[in-house]
């Protein structure tokens, strides 16, 4: 049996899924794990067996715990590998598990490890990790300071602990390779821009690729005819205008800092603001923690990436907490200070700016507005308020019963509008960046 391990180093989380490759079918999901709140400890670790035959007879199939030992993405990966090895050992010992399963879940069966790497620069296809590709990704670390270095450390760890597997990098930037020149360019000297690669790259591309295929399938539409406005709102948040299945504009830019605010990121600000915010903005911080992931960024970039966003506005990186406090169940619970409402309203306002702009970019030919990401998939209130505002553009009104019932609904895509089968739909998509990588990896014959 050939296994694919797909690893997604997000800014606040490490999400991992294990798949079995099947020759004529999509990869079969065996188990998932997620470590959240890595940037605001204690991290929460989750390990869940989805579809391993015979696993009902072992007791270690689901684990959820706060883990003080997980300090970063690399230690989260180590914790996952230990948990998987322990689980596989339990299966091996169980007499009720069929032989083929007992032998198949060995770590040594993992042929390919897919890593989500946020910034790929001019790499527009997945690449196997070699010294050359590793160095290329490392050189881009300064342009994705919360991501590339962390992904490289996990790649390092995976190569050490799974020496017989191949590590492959899949890039967030690849989905945006068709951005029109006038969208990708900033209004700066184009000679300098070309020489230094200073342009809009766009991110969350694995998620947008998954969303595009899933929504097309749900709407029974050819992906190459699909027009949507997609919102991936998690610790990092972005919007994307997708025409004919391709990204034609997106809110993140040269780095994942611009556009919408995130858990610790400022999003769009007047570029001059930082020089008035701090006097030391230009100071270069260089930390070389180990062989992987050396980052040289200015103090300004550190502040804008790690001290802003919801953390600065409301003192928490948990948007769930912001929603609970901004919308208390009773008036007496309403805090005097409306910092939570400010954080919520500010994100809502910036989202509406992008939806409005992308509606025009798509000339009104929009099949659906799609919510995804940790916040997009779980915040009833955010979807409700966005839905209320965009109905003037002809989107279906959000049906609050459907909106509140999303968590109970099965399936990848859930319709929360009242449009029926026609009109501009309002959808939630349970995005799956690991699934997207595993599907792509499985389809690359050279890797098998
Ligand atoms: N019920 C909820 N309501 C609002 N936000 C939520 C809810 N559950 C999770 N979130 C938020 O989702 C964010 C994490 O999103 P996710 O996409 O998983 O992270 P990452 O960007 O690290 O991949 C966190 O800020 C978390 O607070
Ligand atoms: C690109 C980006 O911001 O990713 P994430 O939301 O996973 O941090
Ligand atoms: Mg993410």
Would you state the pLDDT for residue 93? 81
pTM score, two decimals? 0.95
What residues have CB less than 8 Å from 64, skipping those under 6 apart?
44, 45, 46, 47
Catalytic residue, chosen from 72, 142, 172, 249, is 172
- Asked if the peptide bond before residue 419 counts as cis, ω within 30 degrees of 0, the response is no
| 292 has a pLDDT exceeding 60 | no
Residue 270 is classified by DSSP as -
**Pocket around ligand 2 at a 6 A CB cut-off:** 10-11, 118, 172, 203-204, 234-236, 256
> What end-to-end distance do the CA atoms of the chain give, in Å?
11
The CATH homologous superfamily to which domain 221-263+316-429 belongs is: ATPase, nucleotide binding domain (3.30.420.40)
The 10s digit of each residue's pLDDT in 26-75 is: 999 999 999 999 988 899 999 999 988 766 645 567 778 888 899 999 99
Consult the annotation and say whether 125 binds a ligand: no
Looking at CATH, the fold of the domain delimited by 3-177 is given as Nucleotidyltransferase; domain 5 (3.30.420)
Tell me, using a 6 A CB cutoff, whether residue 12 lines ligand 1.
yes
ipTM for the predicted complex comes to: 0.98
| Torsion of the alpha carbons at 71, 76, 79 and 84, rounded to the nearest 10 | 170
Q: What are phi and psi of 301, to 5 degrees?
A: -65, -35
CATH 3.30.420.40 residue ranges of the chain are 3-177, 221-263+316-429
Would you state the pLDDT for residue 288? 54
The 10s digit of each residue's pLDDT in 262-278 is: 999 999 999 999 999 99
Strands (E), 325-438: 368-372, 413-415, 425-429
The 10s digit of each residue's pLDDT in 383-408 is: 999 999 999 999 999 999 999 999 99
- 290 in Cβ contact with 160 (< 8 Å): no
- 199 in Cβ contact with 184 (< 8 Å): yes
Q: How many CB atoms lie within 10 A of CB 23?
A: 7
* CA–centroid distance, residue 108 to ligand 2 (Å): 30
The 10s digit of each residue's pLDDT in 411-431 is: 999 999 997 767 899 999 999
Q: Give the integer Cα–Cα distance in Å for 62 and 397.
A: 38
- Residue 172 annotated in active site: yes
Of the candidates 238, 205, 211, 236, the one whose C-alpha atom is nearest the C-alpha of residue 226 is 211
Would you state the pLDDT for residue 283? 84
Question: 297 - beta bridge partners?
Answer: 285
Strands (E), 234-336: 237-243, 246-250, 284-287, 295-298
Q: Whose CA is nearest to atom 23 of ligand 1?
A: 10
């Amino acid at each position: 049996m050939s296994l694919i391990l797909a690893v997604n180093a997000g800014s606040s989380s490490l999400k991992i899924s294990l798949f079995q490759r099947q020759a004529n079918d999509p990869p079969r999901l065996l188990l998932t794990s997620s470590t959240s709140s890595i940037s605001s400890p204690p991290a929460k670790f989750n390990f869940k067996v989805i579809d391993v035959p015979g696993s009902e007879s072992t007791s270690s199939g689901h684990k959820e715990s706060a883990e003080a030992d997980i300090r970063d993405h690399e230690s989260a990966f180590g914790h996952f590998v230990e948990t998987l090895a322990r689980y596989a050992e339990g299966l091996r010992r169980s007499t009720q598990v069929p032989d083929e399963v007992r032998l198949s879940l060995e770590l040594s069966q993992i042929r390919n490890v897919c890593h989500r790497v946020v910034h790929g620069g001019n790499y527009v296809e997945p690449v196997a990790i070699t010294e050359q590709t590793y160095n290329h990704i490392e050189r881009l670390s300064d342009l994705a300071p919360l991501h590339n270095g962390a992904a490289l450390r996990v790649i390092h760890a995976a190569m050490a602990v799974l020496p017989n597997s191949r590590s492959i990098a899949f890039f967030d930037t690849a989905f945006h390779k068709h951005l029109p020149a006038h969208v990708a360019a900033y209004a700066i000297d184009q000679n300098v821009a070309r020489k230094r690669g200073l342009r809009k790259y766009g991110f969350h591309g694995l998620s947008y690729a998954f969303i595009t295929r899933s929504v097309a399938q749900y709407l029974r539409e050819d992906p190459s005819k699909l027009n949507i406005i997609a919102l991936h709102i998690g610790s990092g948040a972005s919007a994307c205008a997708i025409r004919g299945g391709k990204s034609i504009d997106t809110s993140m830019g040269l780095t994942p800092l611009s556009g919408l605010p995130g858990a610790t990121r400022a999003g769009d600000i007047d570029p001059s603001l930082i020089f008035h915010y701090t006097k030391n903005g230009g100071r270069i911080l260089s930390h070389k923690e180990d062989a992987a992931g050396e980052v040289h960024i200015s103090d300004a970039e550190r502040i804008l990436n790690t001290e802003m966003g919801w953390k600065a506005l409301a003192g928490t990186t948990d948007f769930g907490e912001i929603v609970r406090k901004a919308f208390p169940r009773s008036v007496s619970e309403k805090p005097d200070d409306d910092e939570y409402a400010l954080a919520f309203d500010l994100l809502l306002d910036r989202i509406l700016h992008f939806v409005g702009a992308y509606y025009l970019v798509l000339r009104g030919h929009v099949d659906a507005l799609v919510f995804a990401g940790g916040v997009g998939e779980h915040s009833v209130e955010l979807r409700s308020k966005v839905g209320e505002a965009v109905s003037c553009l002809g989107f279906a009104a959000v049906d609050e019963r459907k909106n509140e019932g999303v968590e109970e609904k099965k399936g990848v895509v859930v319709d929360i509008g009242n449009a029926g089968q026609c009109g501009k739909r309002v959808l939630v998509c349970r995005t799956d960046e690991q699934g997207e990588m595993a599907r792509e990896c499985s389809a690359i014959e050279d890797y098998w």
